[in-house]
A and B are shown apart, each in its own frame.
Chain A
Amino acid sequence: GENVGLHLPTLSVQEGDNSIINCAYSNSASDYFIWYKQESGKGPQFIIDIRSNMDKRQGQRVTVLLNKTVKHLSLQIAATQPGDSAVYFCAENTGSGGYQKVTFGIGTKLQVIP
């Protein structure tokens, strides 16, 4: 069945280092992926998305890489800061038009060590 999941449940990173959070998916037909950040006690917050016609997309300090061959997605955070500490979810969006059907994977907790 369809599954979006994460390799590592917890990642500890020194402040200033780069972070890489990985995600695997099983549905080869998936074509739209999103990374969400969830801080403690808050709702998921959109970080960056990528469609299957791309293999890389960059935002501010974040880069998402998509490898469709091995069905792997990663989120890279440059110069990790204490404010980046949160749980990060990769998610698949199978909606169309304005309708967002988002299926979340199991999150990875990022701990930034000052």
Chain B
Amino acid sequence: EPEVTQTPSHQVTQMGQEVILRCVPISNHLYFYWYRQILGQKVEFLVSFYNNEISEKSEIFDDQFSVERPDGSNFTLKIRSTKLEDSAMYFCASSEVVGAGELFFGEGSRLTVL
């Protein structure tokens, strides 16, 4: 069964450092998303991406965040200067353009900012 894959599974970084989280969405999907889940809390929407541009973003997705689709398979989330409060689980998701459009999530990348 096709799946969304994410790397790394866990990254530890120092405050102020740049972090790039990588995702490979399901191959025939064209909508891509990043969500965040702080430990013990609900899953929060960050950003959606379609046709090589951001289609929607939340208040959490400030200037420190950016997304990119550098090639035909990867979808990345960059945090330029990490803060302690960026520590969370980051989930990538993708969906098809047509049809029921179920949202498929990856297993997440845990980011720990020290």
Contacts and interface: CB of A to CB of B under 8 A. Distances in A.
Contact of B50 (A44, A45, A99, A103): A99
B19 interface: no
Nearest to A5: B42
Interface residues of B, number: 28
Interface in B82-111: 91, 93, 95-99, 101-108
B101 A99 contact: yes
A101 interface: yes
Contacts of B61: none
A93 B33 CA distance: 14
Interface centre among B43, B56, B97, B108 (most CB of A within 10 A): B43
Nearest to B92: A43
Interface residues of A, number: 21
Interface string A40-61: 0111111000000000000000
A97 B98 contact: yes
A95 B4 CA distance: 20
Given A43-B107, A43-B108, A45-B105, A103 B96 contact: no
Interface in B50-78: 50, 55-56
